[in-house]
Amino acid sequence: MTSITARWLERDRRTLRVNIASVGDRVYGIVTTICALVIPALVVAIAVAIFAAAWPAIARLGLSIVTSSDWDVPGGHFGAAPALYGTLVSSVVALIIATPLAIGVAIFLSEFSPTWLRQPVGFLVDLLAAIPSVVYGLWGIFVLTPLLREHVMPFLRDTLHLGATPFFTGPAYGPSMLAAGLILAIMALPYISAVSREVLLAVPRSQREAALALAATRWEMIRDAVIPYARSGIIGGIMLGLGRALGETMAVMMLIGNSPKISASLFAPGYTMASLIANEFSEATNDLHLSALMAVGAALFLITLIVNAVARWLVWSVSRDRAK
């Protein structure tokens, strides 16, 4: 008798435990799924909020928001072409400076560095990504800009006679497209070099050994056997750096001079889309101005989205090859 009751009790307990377990599993599954859904929800919310807020300006001004260069707030003209131009030019300048350096560092770290140097140098370069952008801006205002104004710009223009080209002419004020491009180069460098280092390390040893066995020098091995293998991943890293540079706000706003004019000279001040928003958003008084700034934000959103998607795809295609 007692043994039967005991058995019944035992069975009850067990089913109860199983039930608790399955309830627990269900709760756990629901909670993690909801948290995972937060990410798509955020992206959709950001896109909807910004495009909805931008719509009045887009409907009223059409494409002239990005094609016109007449930014006249009291007059109701909102042409952000100079900001679009500044965003692209400052980012391109940044990439031209940062790419060779970043790839050089990545090759150094993955191929030539003495073992004891690898960790500290890699760490220092990674740390560049940890420095807040406002600190870059501060350093840019008080150290980099005076240096450019007093030494670098006169040197480029007069000593190297680059003033003959349209890119290095005009007075050297300091705050300029060149200053913004330089600071962006420093900021994009760690992203490019981190991705490049990773894809270079993913190149199989056999690839290197084969090249060396064919009597290639160490540089020829890198150039002919390693880099071609890692090329799309490196390009992906450059695109990621580009994505960072395009959307960077604070440091650029503090260094570019914030002047809505298109000028071929890198010595002239300019504007970027992000710095335009940051500068004017809190002072926007009428609805159209606010909406136009939202439209600039929407354009920035789209551009960085495309650049990042391409970058991810390139990096992903390399890691997929590695997995094979």
Partner 1 sequence: MRTVRSRHIVSGGMIALTYLAAILATLPLILILIHLIQKGASSLSLAFFTNGPSPVGEAGGGMANAIVGTLVVVGTASLIGLPIGIAAGLYLAEKRTTPLAYTVRFLADVLNGLPSIVVGIFAWEFLVRPIGHFSALAGSVALAAMMIPLVTRTTEEMLRVVPTSLREAALALGYPKWRTSIAVVLRTALAGIATGALVAIARIAGETAPLLFTALGNQFWSTSLKAPIAALPLQIFTYAISPYDEWHRQAWAGALVLIVIVLIISVAARFATRSRFGAPVD
Measured from the Cβ of residue 250, the count of other Cβ atoms closer than 10 Å reads 17
- Measured CA to CA, the distance from residue 134 to residue 95 in angstroms comes to 20
Taking CB under 8 A as the criterion, the residue among 2, 4, 5, 35 binding partner 1 is 35
Interacting positions 3-32 with partner 1 (CB under 8 A): 20-22, 24-25, 27-29, 31-32
Which listed range, 156-164, 204-212, 260-268, 309-317, lies at the site for partner 1 (CB under 8 A)? 309-317
* Gap between the Cα atoms of 1 and 3, Å rounded: 5
For Cα atoms 52, 57, 61, give the angle at the middle one, nearest 5 degrees: 140
In angstroms, the Cα distances linking 144 to 86, 141, 191 are: 19, 6, 21
Residue 304 interacting with partner 1 (CB under 8 A): yes
Which of helix, strand or coil describes residue 135? helix
Which CB atom, from 42 or from 160, has the smaller least distance to partner 1?
Answer: 42
Residue 285 binds partner 1, judged by CB under 8 A:
no
Q: Are 223 and 174 in contact (CB under 8 A)?
A: no
Position among 3, 33, 115, 285 found at the interface with partner 1 (CB under 8 A): 33
Token reading at 165: 């080209």
Q: Would you say 5 or 282 has its CB closer to partner 1?
A: 282
Nearer to partner 1, 163 or 233 (CB): 233
Q: Which of residues 90-149 bind partner 1 (CB under 8 A)?
A: 100-105, 107-109, 111-113, 121, 123-128, 130-139, 141-143
Cβ count within 10 A of residue 317: 12
Residues 166-185 that bind partner 1 (CB under 8 A): none
**Binds partner 1 (CB under 8 A): choice among 15, 40, 63, 323:** 40
